[in-house]
Amino acid sequence: MPELPEVETTRRGLAPHLVGQQVRGLIVRQAQLRWPIAQALRDHLPGQRVEDIERRAKYLLVHTQAGSALLHLGMSGSLRVLPEATPAGLHDHIDWRLGSGHVLRYTDPRRFGCQLWQEPGEVHPLLAGLGPEPLGDGFDGDYLWRLSRGRKSAVKLFLMDQKIVVGVGNIYAAEALFAAGIHPARAAGQVSLARYRVLAAQVKRILAYAIRRGGTTLRDFISPDGLPGYFEQELFVYGRAGEPCRTCATPVRSITLGQRSTFFCPRCQR
């Protein structure tokens, strides 16, 4: 599934092509995604001019005067701006016809993404109750330490809880915990304030760096220009079970936490 850096890379790639453009109409070839294409989006988006495109967690919000389109890429979705005459493929489910003569094309082989609608001045239920952005001022080690007190769940699951902080998915949680030297299965309530401060700093550093590198190419992600992300080449533990740790050469191990594969170095992480 595309994680925060991939979604932010998509936002940055789309913004120059969308902001200021009028959406002349929609071509819906397949309405059944994770949820059916919102009727409100079909009713209100055509004819509107895009004022801004924002990321919240792993969602994209395309703002217009009439409201905002709420987009999620699911597990295999991508958004690309193409000439309107570009033939549609099997998994090209939705086109936004733009005033520029291009289309914003949503492609999703697994159809786990969504295109919904948020009314002006409202917060969509999918966004309500989300934690702070990891790259914002509201997220730091002191915040993590306060919310972790008394928690017995694994620190990796705590870090991936979207009510605690948004957008820190499996890949980047594993990499941040490695950089901070924290074992992913350690109880969240047993991690000290000092170590949480290091962890929060590493989350910010790794996410910011991954964004600069264009995200992580795993399975299906491509950016709006058709290019893959390049952070995968620099992963320290994720997906490297059995390979030597880049720091100490101890074989990287894999365990399952919350039904997700978790990678760590048994020597570097305690």
CATH number at residue 85: 3.20.190.10
Residue 158, pLDDT score? 98
CA-nearest of 129, 223, 141 to 182 is 141
Q: Is residue 254 a contact partner of residue 269, using CB atoms and an 8 Å limit?
A: no
Tell me how far the alpha carbon of residue 1 is from its chain's centroid: 8
Domain membership of residue 8 (yes or no) is yes
Cα angle 11, 16, 19 (rounded to 5 degrees) comes to: 85
| CATH number, domain containing residue 242 | 1.10.8.50
Question: Is 132 inside any structural domain?
Answer: no
The verdict on residue 133 lying in a domain is no
Q: Which of 42, 186, 246, 260 is catalytic?
A: 260
pLDDT value of position 75: 87
- Indicate if 155 and 253 belong to the same structural domain: yes
Question: Is 250 among the domain residues?
Answer: yes
End-of-domain residue from the set 118, 152, 183: 118
In terms of domains, do 36 and 111 share one?
Answer: yes
Q: How many domains does the chain divide into?
A: 2
> How many Cβ atoms are within 10 Å of 198's Cβ, its own excluded?
17
**pLDDT attached to residue 230:** 44
**Overall size of the chain counted in residues:** 270
Q: Which amino acid is at 78?
A: S
The CA-to-CA distance between both ends of the chain, in Å, stands at 28
Hey, which residues does 264 pair with through a beta bridge?
A: 253
The three-class DSSP label of residue 183 is: coil
Q: Is the sign of the CA dihedral 224, 29, 72, 119 positive or negative? A: positive
Placement of tokens 């109880």 in the chain: 187
51 found inside a domain:
yes
Q: Are residues 145 and 260 in the same domain?
A: yes
Active site residue 58: yes
Looking at 3, 6, 8, 175, which residue is catalytic? 3
Q: Residues marked as binding?
A: 91, 110, 151
Annotated binding site for DNA: 91, 110, 151
CB-based contact 130:137 (threshold 8 Å): no
Q: 114 and 8, same structural domain? A: yes
129: tokens are 């109750």
The type of residue at 254 is S
Question: Do 250 and 218 share a domain, yes or no?
Answer: yes
Q: Are the beta carbons of 268 and 245 closer than 8 angstroms? A: yes
C-alpha–C-alpha distance, residues 194 and 56, integer Å: 28
Residues 155 and 197 in one domain: yes
Compute the distance between CA of residue 26 and CA of residue 200 in angstroms, rounded to an integer: 41
Is residue 260 part of the annotated active site? The answer reads yes
In a domain, 269, yes or no: no
The residue from 11, 55, 58, 80 that is catalytic is: 58
The identity of residue 52, as a single letter, is D
Q: Examine residue 150 and state whether it is found in any structural domain, yes or no.
A: yes
Do 179 and 243 lie in one domain? The reply is yes
Shared domain for 108 and 154, answered yes or no, is no
User: Is residue 126 included in any domain, yes or no?
Assistant: no
Cα distance between residue 96 and residue 105, in whole Å? 7
Is 2 an active-site residue?
yes
Domain span at residue 78? 4-118
What does pLDDT average to in each consecutive run of 10 residues of the chain (270 residues)? 84 93 97 94 98 96 98 92 94 97 95 96 96 96 98 98 95 96 98 98 94 58 50 79 97 96 98
Considering the domain architecture, whether residues 54 and 104 belong to the same structural domain is answered as yes
Write the DSSP string, 42-86: HHHSTTPBP-EEEEETTEEEEEETTEEEEEE-TTT-EEEEEETTS
Q: Assess contact for 206 and 178: CB atoms under 8 A.
A: no
Name residue 106's beta-bridge partners.
79, 94
- Tell me, yes or no, whether 172 and 94 share the same domain: no
Question: Are 68 and 12 in the same domain?
Answer: yes
**Nearest-angstrom CA–CA distance, 83 and 89:** 14
Q: Is 109 a catalytic residue?
A: no
Together in a domain, 103 and 145: no
Structure tokens at 39: 């009727």
pLDDT digits (tens, 9 = 90+) for 139-190: 999 999 999 999 999 999 999 999 999 999 999 999 999 999 999 999 999 9
